[in-house]
Homo-oligomer: A and B are copies of this chain.
Amino acid sequence: MQNRKILLSEKEIPSAWYNILSDLRTPLSPPLHPATHEPIGPEALRPIFPDALIEQEVSTAPTIPIPEEILDIYSLWRPTPLVRAYNLEKKLNTPARIYYKNEGVSPPGSHKPNTAVAQAYYNKEAGVKRIATETGAGQWGSALTFACNLFGLESTVYMVKVSYQQKPYRKSMMQVWGGEVVPSPSTRTKSGRDILARDPDSLGSLGIAISEAIEDAVQHDDTKYALGSVLNHVLLHQTIIGLETREQFKKIGVEPDILIGCCGGGSNFAGLALPYIRDKINGKDLSIIAVEPTACPTLTRGEFRYDFGDTAQLTPLLKMYTLGHDFVPPGIHAGGLRYHGAAPIVSHLLGEGIIEAVGCKQTSVFESAVLFARAEGIVHAPETAHAIQTVIEEAEKCREAGEEKVIVFSLSGHGHFDLASYDSYFASQLQDYAYPGEKILEALSKLPVIEE
């Protein structure tokens, strides 16, 4: 019998996160004040984040130790298994060896608690009583309520109203963990009330929900805000994925040739990829591929410019690949990949040519999803399926070239709350959206012109 899973013991959970900022040859461009366009210092973030997280956001230390209390919670589901996808290899008749790092085994069902637990911990340490955040499809909100509950913090999740209505069970899960879930736009905040005054039937958007959560945090002394992707400290916490993966490969004496992850804001992709970047910078022959939907082609068709993180232009300006904060992506099922920007770190690495990016169409993505679910048994999230689509393409190239490459991808989450999207696929109701070029150009035309 072949060994499918490469496991680590709890004692082998890495004791420090890896900080990519220490290894970049050129530093990231600084965040700018949304009005003055001047570089901002850490103090600008104090109203919404605790000091420890602000320090991590700007730290250039090579590693940052993981506190014992966080490791203890991680051990509820970590280390996650690295699994050899024998059945998929067989189905594809490929000489490639395919592995996946399964982050879907966490109680909330994705990689998101890696940072949610860390953020809840540092907020708790800082005396914060409550965390406000936004969620779209619900993965991030689930992870944050899960984490807050374990540290005895309250949580308020502004959930995009259309998701609140369409995905009632994500909301239920958050309530099981004691989270308060508020459909957004709400009457709780001025931002919400303004929207409702203009459009009482508004179904909401991630941009609106972010504005509500930030306003909630700013308005209450005992409350802070938490973000589930994009920022440096979020990607830092996610490096636990790639660090474990390295240890697991070391155990079996294997080194990957191709790393693949789906990319929305970038936290899942970066979690796997960042701990391998130094090897790549030092000349190792390694492909590192971020996969995004062609319907929201941030990395493949966006511009590397300063832009706001939210629609309402309240956040600092970040230098990143962007389609423009005004761009509203088509309603693809991979809600976690519908974001106009990409993390500054991911954007920087793409700009430097250290990583690559590719786009996938929705129908092919679901074809790959079903193929994988039937081969390996796991019903996974539509976001993950983007990575799988690219894995399959790379494995097919290996078959044609007769190359026995080692491919590893991040299985970002299970799909137990995404089955309606599989239904749409089987009913042939999925749309392959045309490349939204004009809309993107229009959104990009609205960006501030910043001289660097």
- Please list the residues of chain A having a beta carbon within 8 angstroms of any beta carbon in chain B: 1-5, 7, 9-11, 68, 71-72, 75-77, 87, 105, 107, 109, 146, 149-150, 168-169, 172-173, 175-178, 370, 373-374, 376-379, 414, 416-417, 419-420, 422-423, 426
Contacts and interface: CB of A to CB of B under 8 A. Distances in A.
Contact of A172 (B3, B68, B374, B423): B423
B4 A7 contact: no
A50 to B, nearest CB: 23
B374 A1 contact: no
A29 to B, nearest CB: 38
Contacts of A373: 176-177
B169 A374 contact: no
B374 A177 contact: yes
Given A419-B173, A426-B175, A71 B377 contact: no
A242 B375 CA distance: 28
Contacts of A422: 172, 175-176
A107 B378 contact: yes
Given A172-B423, A176-B422, A422-B176, A2 B378 contact: no
A-B CB proximity, top 3 nearest: A172-B419, A107-B377, A169-B419
A393 to B, nearest CB: 21
Given A7-B7, A75-B5, A172-B423, A150 B107 contact: no
23 contacts: A1-B71, A1-B75, A2-B72, A3-B11, A5-B75, A7-B9, A76-B376, A76-B377, A87-B150, A105-B105, A107-B378, A107-B379, A109-B416, A150-B377, A169-B420, A172-B420, A172-B422, A173-B419, A176-B370, A176-B374, A177-B374, A177-B377, A414-B416
Contacts of A419: 168-169, 172-173, 176
B10 A1 contact: yes
A421 to B, nearest CB: 9
Contact of A68 (B1, B5, B150, B176): B1
B75 A379 contact: no
Contacts of A5: 10, 75
A423 B169 CA distance: 9
Contacts of A150: 87, 377
A368 B8 CA distance: 32
